[in-house]
Structure 1
């Protein structure tokens, strides 16, 4: 069996994951701070992912091993599970079924869990006009896990946008698997600056919550867009931030007039929440 060992994690190498699939990878696994990439034969890889090493390993059913070692993720009131783990959701928890696959976001990375916990803490079911439920924008939605979690947690409407055309159909499939309707959650391809402000009702022109699991430099670039897409008093939930780059994101949010910055740090990763002044 051919395994390509690539330094980094799914989070730090997210832009490179599509390159690996396009090169013919049959599976990806994150283990011990590195990415194991499975191939049926040795291939010429693009320069962006050429910093790894090829290894010949004994044949094994890596998919069976992946299923065996994958565990449910409990994040606040939500438990994120693969389809074969439905029966493992504890009573009283909200199940969120995500098919592990090509789209980034199975819920197992610490940043995803932190984001879902932060959404739960916001009380989405009582936010928004008339306390009828929050309207949530998920930027860089990937598999749709954060938008879907928001819908599970009582958001009136969640809208996920991603520039990767491969992710949107997967996010839509995950919505169907979880029984969530287009009136509850919607996914589109595009960038934040170009995406329409899409809502199921007329006369709405901003979101109550923006959530984004991206890296610090992108948060810096998009901070003004976050503010533009949020209603006054709305909350930004930003993660995917390496702890040593918190200062960059704090400064970007302050620059765009956000207040009440709060941070959560777990290991190397951090999450920031902030309120748009209104």
Structure 2
């Protein structure tokens, strides 16, 4: 089995994944800070991803191994599991069922887990939640399962919307409790529930530089005093986010770290 090992960072990994798929990878996964790309044979790769290493490894059923090594992720009141491990959700926990890809979206990454934990710490009953950069919809779905009245997930990538919608259906989220749309915070965010684009809670799993650019838009889409949950932030980039929040008048700024990653919570003025 031919495996290409490529160092990855949060900021570059999506672009690297796309390039690896386009180069003919038959499977991708993240392990110990590396992207492992499976190929049928060695091939020329674009310069942007040419600093990796080809390795010839023993043949194995890597999909079966991936599934065997996947464990439930407990995040506050929520346990994130693939469908085949639903029976392992502890009593009293809210199950969040996600069919994982071979690369990301399993809930094991610290950024996703910390964001779900932060949502779990809030009383979301009757609240509206905006999930910016929703991806597979995990955070919007978690909010809906935690009794939010309505959760809207937005993403610039149209490919994510049907995936997120399917994931919401798999979790039994009632129609009208969660919705997903292509868009940015510069767009109108219409809806039958939230007609003015202003939400009670805003959560965003992006990266520090994008939080810095969007913090003014966060203010416009979050009610006064509403909780803001930001993650996808490298600890080394924390000052950039903290300065942006201070610039826009956010209060009660708190930081939690897990390894190289940070989660920042605050409240709008």
**Common fold, TM-score beyond 0.5?**
yes
Partner of 1:16: 16
CA contact (8 A) 2:30 2:103 kept: no
Paired residues, what number? 269
The DSSP-based 3-state class of the residue aligned with 2:118 is helix
Match for residue 257 of structure 1 among 221, 240, 249: 249
Q: How does 1:172-211 map to 2 (within 5 A)?
A: 172-194=165-187, 196-201=188-193, 203-211=195-203
* 1:18-54, Cα deviation, whole Å (9 max, x unpaired): 2222332222121122111112233333332222111
* 1:146-204, Cα deviation, whole Å (9 max, x unpaired): 1111111111111111112222111111111111134011111222222x323333654
1:104 Cα deviation from its structure 2 partner? 4.4
Pairing 1:271–2:263 present: yes
1:214 Cα deviation from its structure 2 partner? 1.0
Q: How does 1:24-103 map to 2 (within 5 A)?
A: 24-101=24-101
Match for residue 159 of structure 2 among 152, 166, 169: 166
CA distance in 2, matches of 1:190, 1:203: 16
CA contact (8 A) 2:29 2:102 kept: no
CA distance in 2, matches of 1:164, 1:119: 24
- Structure 1 ranges of 4+ moved more than 3 A: 9-12, 202-205
Q: Under a length normalisation based on structure 2, what TM-score does the superposition of the two structures give?
A: 0.94
Q: Single out whichever of 177-186 and 145-154 deviates more from structure 2.
A: 177-186
Partner of 1:115: 115
Gaps of 5+ in 1: 126-132
CA distance in 2, matches of 1:90, 1:216: 34
Partner of 1:128: none
Match for residue 212 of structure 2 among 209, 220, 227: 220
* 1:116-173, Cα deviation, whole Å (9 max, x unpaired): 0101112111xxxxxxx11111111111111111111111111111112222111111
